[in-house]
Amino acid sequence: MTFSKRNLLIATVMMVTSSVFSVSAVFADEFKFSIHHFLSPKSITHTDMIVPWAKRIEEASEGRIQFEIFPAMALGGKPPELYGQVRDGVADVIWTLPGYTPGVFPRLEVFELPNVHDGSAAATNAAIQALLPDLAEDLDDIHPLLVHTHSGNALHLTSKDVKSLADVKGLKVRSPSRTGAWMLESWGAEPVGMPVPALPQALAKKTVDGGLVPFEIAIPLKLAELTDYSVELEKGKRFGTSTFLFAMNKASYNSLPDDLKKIVDDNSGAAFAKEMGELWDSVEPKGIQLAIDKGNEVNQLSAEASAEFATKAEQVGARWLAEVTANGIDGAALLAKAQDAVAANAMQN
């Protein structure tokens, strides 16, 4: 081989090697993450929250971050396992209810209490954002993207209307959380804990008389076809709410370079919370109208009946306060802050 040919061969090998390293560097700077949740791909959580969020980040990162979304527990497991999955790295990102893992999130529970949430997801979401430093210890094991609520729980019943506190005594009612179960117990009802996807079958089989859910989730679950009555407090106020957690595995988040972390951070937090609060509040009237169109009765309790339930709500708040205080949390300060923040933000929404 002549010198010139040998040099040409060496140069060609170096170019190919350099190209391989360049391609490897590109692939090394790309990140593909899984998102796992328990609702159907038709739910607004999937279509109007998770999918748009993922697309925004993919576009802002110019494809360096990509997501694959697995609804309806497609990665396996049951809804109460989602928190453990994201904590342990089985899934990179999850959306779940903290209430599915009782006792793990005692501080977040304050926003589920029926004497804290006042019926506006936008107001409660803003309050949660304001109190994130007070809630931080509950979130140590994951990277939170959003803690939020829906508009609140209405009482949906199969064959019995409720006009007063006495009417709920003895009813079997699906509860979304342990604070929801406490509330039902204070009414004299029998709480039945279950993830919300199991509620339609439970109603159809008459193993429960009703459930505590917002009208929003009643749409994809087709609850209007399985119930006859829906009950709210006076002026559309609700029987507490559920908190939701959209979170990322810490190692997955920390694997990102700073510029990509910033993109994730820019799509988390206060603006995201405001957007989702307004979204959930906007869907509730659609769910109410759907129930009415199906021939169901949607009723608001009188001021007198609402006052009866408010007394029980105070008892539930006191029960939470006693428990968290016994566990070394300044529950009184947290409860007062949460109530004040919700009230202040309700005035602005």
Alpha helix stretches (DSSP H) within the chain: 3-28, 44, 51-60, 82-88, 121-130, 132-135, 178-187, 199-204, 215-221, 250-254, 258-266, 270-293, 303-326, 331-348
- Per the CB < 8 A criterion, the answer to whether 97 and 174 are in contact is no
How many CB atoms within 10 Å of residue 293? 9
How many CB atoms within 10 Å of residue 106? 19
- The pLDDT assigned to 114 comes to 93
User: pLDDT tens digit string along 144-195?
Assistant: 999 999 999 999 999 899 999 999 999 999 999 999 999 999 999 999 999 9
Does residue 255 sit in helix, strand or coil? coil
- The pLDDT assigned to 187 comes to 98
Architecture of domain 31-151+242-281: 3-Layer(aba) Sandwich (3.40)
Q: Span 208-221, mean pLDDT?
A: 95
Closest CA to 151 of 72, 54, 243: 243
Q: Span 56-74, mean pLDDT?
A: 98
- The pLDDT assigned to 82 comes to 98
Instruction: Please give the share of the chain, as a percent, with pLDDT higher than 90.
Output: 90
Rg over alpha carbons for the chain, rounded to the nearest Å, is 24
Which band of pLDDT confidence, cut at 50, 70 and 90, is reported for residue 19?
very low
Which band of pLDDT confidence, cut at 50, 70 and 90, is reported for residue 83?
very high
- Per the CB < 8 A criterion, the answer to whether 79 and 242 are in contact is no
Q: Span 198-219, mean pLDDT?
A: 96
Give the C-alpha separation, 6 to 201, whole Å: 75
- 317 has a pLDDT exceeding 60: yes
Q: Span 296-305, mean pLDDT?
A: 97
- The pLDDT assigned to 347 comes to 82
- The pLDDT assigned to 86 comes to 98
Give the C-alpha separation, 249 to 175, whole Å: 28
- 250 has a pLDDT exceeding 70: yes
- 108 has a pLDDT exceeding 60: yes
Give the C-alpha separation, 91 to 36, whole Å: 7
- 223 has a pLDDT exceeding 70: yes
Mean of the per-residue pLDDT values for the chain?
92
Place of tokens 């209307």: 161
User: pLDDT tens digit string along 131-144?
Assistant: 999 999 999 999 99
Which band of pLDDT confidence, cut at 50, 70 and 90, is reported for residue 25?
very low
For residue 78 the two structure tokens come to 């049951």
Strands 154-157 and 229-232: antiparallel
- Per the CB < 8 A criterion, the answer to whether 280 and 128 are in contact is no
Q: Give CATH 3.40.190.170 domain extents, the chain.
A: 31-151+242-281, 154-241+284-348
Give the C-alpha separation, 94 to 115, whole Å: 28
- Per the CB < 8 A criterion, the answer to whether 196 and 223 are in contact is no
- The pLDDT assigned to 6 comes to 47
Which band of pLDDT confidence, cut at 50, 70 and 90, is reported for residue 348?
confident
pLDDT, greater one: 72 or 9: 72
108, 112, 113, 115 alpha-carbon torsion, rounded to 10°: 110
- The pLDDT assigned to 15 comes to 45
Contacts of 115 (CB under 8 A, 6+ apart): 310, 313, 314, 316, 317, 339
Instruction: Please give the share of the chain, as a percent, with pLDDT higher than 70.
Output: 91
- 5 has a pLDDT exceeding 80: no
Burial of residue 333 (number of CB atoms within 10 Å: 0-12, 13-18, 19+): exposed
User: pLDDT tens digit string along 263-279?
Assistant: 999 999 999 999 999 99
- 17 has a pLDDT exceeding 80: no
What's this model's pTM, rounded to 2 decimal places? 0.89
Give the C-alpha separation, 36 to 58, whole Å: 17
- 22 has a pLDDT exceeding 90: no
- The pLDDT assigned to 349 comes to 66
How many CB atoms within 10 Å of residue 204? 11
For 154-241+284-348, the fitting CATH number among 3.20.20.70, 3.40.50.300, 3.30.9.60, 3.40.190.170 is 3.40.190.170
Give the C-alpha separation, 20 to 27, whole Å: 11
Sheet with 93-96: list strands edge to edge.
Answer: 65-70, 31-37, 93-96, 243-248, 143-149
- The pLDDT assigned to 29 comes to 62
